[in-house]
Amino acid sequence: MRRELKLDVFSLLTDQDSTLARLADDIALCVDALWILCEDQATARGLTDEDFGRAIDAERYGEVQNALVSALVDFTPPARRPALAALWITVQKFQKDGTERAVRLIESDATAAAIARQMDAAEAAATKEIATIIGG
């Protein structure tokens, strides 16, 4: 995984770019990492990497992501496992909190007003451009 995806399993607790955060944020990276781990078994069953990726739908993705991280946690030395598991829980919490904040912002009156202002400005600019074309 280190060479193919620039994903260093051995630095899960120490890297600056936070391998766990990358796995939490990047669906393709997560699926690709899982493919690397399962490739021999999958190809033995006649699956291509594309078949494998298509089989992981949105409903299964969370389960797949957790399975991958659990496997990575199990791959680390036992003394580091509790810290790594706690870090994954924290990453998931911040991801959930970030999503909830984004939804609140998107649904806010302030966002609706800002969108309305942008639409009004775009409409005024289009009206002016059309008047210039027709009158010009």
Kindly state the tokens that stand for 65: 């992501």
Q: How far from chain centre, in Å, is Cα 123?
A: 35
Tokens of 75: 């791959």
Q: Which domain holds residue 32?
A: 2-135
Q: For residues 47 and 31, what is the distance between their CA atoms, to the nearest angstrom? A: 14
* pTM metric for this prediction: 0.60
d(CA 5, CA 33): 7
The domain total for the chain is 1
Residue 127's pLDDT is: 95
Residues 69-110: tens digit of each pLDDT: 888 888 888 988 898 888 888 888 988 999 999 999 999 999
